[in-house]
Amino acid sequence: MILVLEPNTQPESLDYRMLTGQLDVSVSHPLLLASLMIASGNALIMLVLYVFSAYLGRMYLEVKGRPPYVIMERIDGPTIGSL
């Protein structure tokens, strides 16, 4: 479909006015402030949850008492007493 416009006419659709900046939409300041506070509050909660879960995970690994590595193979060499 080809849209042909005459020289001095513009489509009056809502999408076109929004894309070209011709639509005057104003947001009240309390609404903007409330949405920013909610978004920043959610971000802060997510950060706190991340830090807490990282701490809890490390504590769980420490409490298990397992070594941080596993020796898969022992190669015979000099012992501590022979040095």
CA distance 61 to 2: 65
DSSP per residue, 45-69: HHHHHHHHHHHHHHHHHHHHT--SS
pLDDT tens profile 8-67: 555 567 677 767 766 666 767 888 889 999 999 999 999 999 999 999 999 998 998 888
Structure-block tokens of residue 2:
């080809």
Contacts of 25 (CB under 8 A, 6+ apart): 18
pTM comes to 0.49
